Amino acid sequence: MPNAAFPSIIVFDVNETLLDITTLEPLFDRIFGDPRVLREWFAQLVLYSQTMTLSGLFTPFGELGVGTLRMTASIHQVSIADADVAELKERMSSMPAHPDVVPALTRLQDAGFRMVTLTNSASSASPTPLEKAGLSRFFERNFSVGTVGKFKPAPETYRLVAAELSVETSDLCLVASHLWDTIGAQATGCRGALLTRPYNANLPAPNVPIPDLCASELTTLADQIIKRRQGL
């Protein structure tokens, strides 16, 4: 018997969860002489997206990405050319899927799960990043936080998905490689499944929601979701 208490609708984060941001490393290696600055830039991008939301302000994620690249360059005292900005935009729009993504999504699709995405990135014209990565066929809807003008983990972002699908947040399970994302989802009543890709882990601290499921490979996490839904 299916476990009615566990959702049949899976909401996927996109950047890093599905799409491989390490393909941006050559740009950061060329500009900064160190590919690891990618992680510094990405952390700043997440920090300032959340800062904007907490401050009641909004700037599209891509524009924040360019701004934080210039900010990071200023911190490191290097110059950013227009060609560097153009390369960042091109690389961000054409990131490939991680190797474990298609097998995992196929298993979930075959098991009858409904799947959608929720991303901080703005909606884009076709071909979208998911189309370029060969993933669009798995998802019935793709949601952007631009609709509510707030970035994840603001409660309104997860409620947007529930409202658009005419379900409750408890009918959703968010899959993300960022704990701040699963925390936000769980705080609004969703289930949370954490994918611990490199540079991501649980936070052992009081009152921090523990993800319902956790794995380092998306195929393993998909199997856990299927088993939980089956009541196993």
- All domains in the chain, ordered by first residue: 9-20+95-229 (3.40.50.1000), 21-93 (1.10.150.240)
Region 53-74: what's the mean pLDDT?
Answer: 97
Return the H-helix or E-strand segment holding 40. helix 37-54
**pLDDT in the model for residue 32:** 97
User: Crossing angle, helix 61-76 and helix 82-93, to 10 degrees?
Assistant: 130
**Angle 81-41-22 from CA coordinates, rounded to 5°:** 95
Region 79-101: what's the mean pLDDT?
Answer: 96
| pLDDT tens digits for range 12-44 | 999 999 999 999 999 999 999 999 999 999 999
Tell me what the pLDDT averaged over the chain comes to. 96
Beta-carbon contacts of 70 under 8 Å, excluding residues fewer than 6 positions away, are 80
For residue 146, pLDDT over 80 is answered with: yes
165: left (phi over 0), alpha (psi -120 to 50) or beta: alpha
- What pTM does this model have? 0.96
| pLDDT tens digits for range 162-208 | 999 999 999 999 999 999 999 999 999 999 999 999 989 999 999 99
**Do you find a cis peptide bond into 99, omega within 30 degrees of 0?**
no
Q: Which residue bears the tokens 């490393």?
A: 25
